[in-house]
Amino acid sequence: MTATPARAATVVGESGGPFPLWLPLLIVVVLAVHLLAGATTQFTINLMRSLSPFAQESRAFEMTILPYWRLIAYVTGTIAIFTYLWPVVVHFRRPVEPVPTRVQRRVLSAPFLVAAMTFAPWCLSAVFFPAVTLWRFGRWAPELMSQQVLSPVVNGFLAATTSYLVLEWLFRSQIVPRVFPDGRIPELGPCLTAGVRTRLFLFLAAVAFIPLFTMLGVVRTGVVRVATRVQDADTVVAAMAHASTLTFFLYVALGIVLTLILARSLTRPLGEVAGALRRVQRGDLGVQVRVGSSDEVGVLEDGVNALVGALRDREHILQTFGHVVDPSVRDYLLAGGMERGGELRAVTVLFCDLRGFTTMAERMAPEEVVRTLNEFFATMTAWVRQCGGFVDKFIGDAMLVVFGLFETSTAERPAAGAAAALRCALGMEARLAELNRVRVAAGREPLETSIAVHAGEVVAGAIGAPDRHEFTVIGDTVNVAARLQELCRETGCTLLVSETAYELARRGGVEGTLAMREPVHVRGRSRPIGVFGPEAETHATGRTPFVSSTRA
């Protein structure tokens, strides 16, 4: 997780001084690298410079003005770096939210521009010293090219490249994540930064091309000195052996350091991205990758954060959607289920209603009414889901439940749905008894239900206007189940199951303790419907005669 800007000032500037700790560290790194480059410049000049009288006289004059040039170059470069980074320093000393765009741009461009500022004096020296030689001696010779142009520029480039790679790693790991606590670096627009390909090229130039150039210069200088008889062969060979040894160890050490820095700047963020993706794969959507640059790796880091954010939003939408419609319906619709217009399906419908709740609600406060309905629906809905059904809708104090709609096997769907519906209906009575025990213990009125189950064909789909519709089931099967529930409530029964649903449930493997009742007439049907009800309840009430049935 990333830190806020205030936390960043505490972490990075925890020295308690007027400047954050990274600033003196940056200055020390830059000075150390360029002091080392100055030493290697002297070394390569001594190896490759001409030994003619004019070259030696010119070199002696250069050494008298070199300290002044270095003083001016280092002071000017340090002032330029301080001036460029000052807004960033001010922000770390007195952080504000949001972080100013000016500060963010300077942080992203700092490694490249600081390296360019430090490389500028080396390039200027390639113009300054030939000009001073021309002014002092009235002429300039190509033999001075190595000591006045090539060696300073090559070693300055090496120093600037090393500075850039070190500073890029420093800013990536310590500063950029704190200036961009929320990532989204690509949204800032283009800045003076180098991509992965450019950094690899600079690394290759620093650890391969420059050492080869140095050795080539040493060899060619030795050949010239032998050919012009300035030095004898033995002296030249000994000098070349010494130079090659020093060059080998110097550039091997430099190569190891730069390799570790470059590898860490790439492998560490990629490792964090891989770890974040593994956590997301396990279902952890609380991850956030630190974004440390605006290059390809930074875009990847920011993309992972955007992906996780989109997954969190999607999960929130799914959870919210799952509270509005049943999760099984939600998943079915999102998987490309039924389109608006409907589809004919064979299902089992269950209606469950709170009997006498309207009268009970007149004696309750509105808050208690809502509390009671939520308790009842929460208990019954949990049981419905365990039985494999889904709650199509809540209608006041009643609920419409559908079974068998999402079964994949057409042949087994009706029987399996009816069996699940009957098990659910019988289990509702047991769960209502447990809920009433808790309510009575708390001094609250017990609840009574009327449950009806019927099986048949329905039209299922998204029904409504083009801009507002809901997934539901309609048809004669739903109407019959509703009428049976009304009849159940009128006769005082707790459960009525149509003969069609009961026969399907028996085929589905349910053996219920239900007995056949006399056929009943329901509104909207010309013929009577065979029904089953709880045998013990009917004998106890004696309200409606039963016909014994071996099928029960």
**Residue 85, domain member (yes or no):** yes
CATH code of the domain in which 527 resides: 3.30.70.1230
Residues 443, 536, single domain; the answer is yes
Cβ contacts of residue 134 below 8 Å, gap of 6+? Answer: 140
Q: Greater confidence, 526 or 533?
A: 533
Cβ contacts of residue 290 below 8 Å, gap of 6+? Answer: 2, 177, 183, 269, 272, 301
Structural domain including 26 reads: 5-309
Distances, alpha carbon 425 to alpha carbons 113, 355, 550, in Å? 75, 15, 21
Residues 343, 272, single domain; the answer is no
**Residue 456, domain member (yes or no):** yes
**Residue 323, domain member (yes or no):** no
Query: How many residues are there in the chain?
Result: 552
Question: Given this model, what pLDDT does residue 350 score?
Answer: 95
Residues 235, 379, single domain; the answer is no
Q: Which of 309, 326, 348 is the last residue of a domain?
A: 309
Cβ contacts of residue 543 below 8 Å, gap of 6+? Answer: 491, 492, 493
Is the predicted pLDDT of residue 17 greater than 60, yes or no?
no
Measured between alpha carbons, how far is 498 from 404 in angstroms, rounded to an integer? 16
DSSP β-bridge partners for residue 9? none
Residues 270, 397, single domain; the answer is no
Number of domains in the chain: 2
Residues 348, 450, single domain; the answer is yes
Residues 300, 342, single domain; the answer is no
Which structure tokens are listed for 388? Answer: 């494999």
Is the predicted pLDDT of residue 187 greater than 80, yes or no?
no
Residues 150, 22, single domain; the answer is yes
Measured between alpha carbons, how far is 392 from 405 in angstroms, rounded to an integer? 11
**Alpha-carbon torsion angle 11, 16, 22, 27, nearest 10:** 180
291 DSSP assignment: P
What's the pLDDT tens digit per position in 340-350? 556 788 889 99
Phi-psi map region of 389: left, alpha, beta (phi>0 left; psi -120 to 50 alpha): beta
**Residue 481, domain member (yes or no):** yes
Question: Given this model, what pLDDT does residue 13 score?
Answer: 41
Which helix (H) or strand (E) segment holds residue 414: the answer is helix 413-441
What's the pLDDT tens digit per position in 380-424? 999 998 888 888 888 888 999 999 877 655 556 788 888 999 999
What's the pLDDT tens digit per position in 412-424? 678 888 899 999 9
Within 10 angstroms of residue 250's Cβ, the number of other Cβ atoms is 16
**Residue 378, domain member (yes or no):** yes
520 DSSP assignment: B
User: Residues 131-160: what's their mean pLDDT?
Assistant: 85
Among the listed ranges 31-45, 224-238, 260-274, which one has the minimum average pLDDT value? 224-238
**Residue 364, domain member (yes or no):** yes
Which helix (H) or strand (E) segment holds residue 259: the answer is helix 233-281
**Residue 326, domain member (yes or no):** no
Is the predicted pLDDT of residue 15 greater than 50, yes or no?
no
pTM: 0.56
Residues 250, 358, single domain; the answer is no
Q: Which of 269, 288, 309 is the last residue of a domain?
A: 309
Cβ contacts of residue 57 below 8 Å, gap of 6+? Answer: 137
Question: Given this model, what pLDDT does residue 492 score?
Answer: 77
Measured between alpha carbons, how far is 445 from 252 in angstroms, rounded to an integer? 87
How many C-alpha atoms does 25 have within 13 Å on its Cβ side? 13
Categorize the per-residue pLDDT at 437 as very low, low, confident or very high, splitting at 50, 70 and 90.
very high
Among 97-111, 146-160, 424-438, top mean pLDDT goes to 424-438
Residues 244, 363, single domain; the answer is no
Measured between alpha carbons, how far is 33 from 23 in angstroms, rounded to an integer? 16
Is residue 286 within 8 A of residue 270, CB to CB? The reply is no
Which structure tokens are listed for 442? Answer: 């708390």
Distances, alpha carbon 336 to alpha carbons 310, 413, 461, in Å? 20, 20, 12
Cis amide leading into 98 (omega within 30): yes
Distances, alpha carbon 499 to alpha carbons 177, 434, 453, 503, 526, in Å? 69, 29, 9, 6, 16
Q: Which of 309, 329, 351 is the last residue of a domain?
A: 309
> Which residue bears the tokens 């952080």?
95
Contacts 24+ apart (CB under 8 A), 285-288: 285/311, 285/312, 285/315, 288/1, 288/2, 288/183
Residues 203, 275, single domain; the answer is yes
Residues 136, 192, single domain; the answer is yes
Residues 470, 524, single domain; the answer is yes
**Residue 478, domain member (yes or no):** yes
> Which residue bears the tokens 């690899």?
200
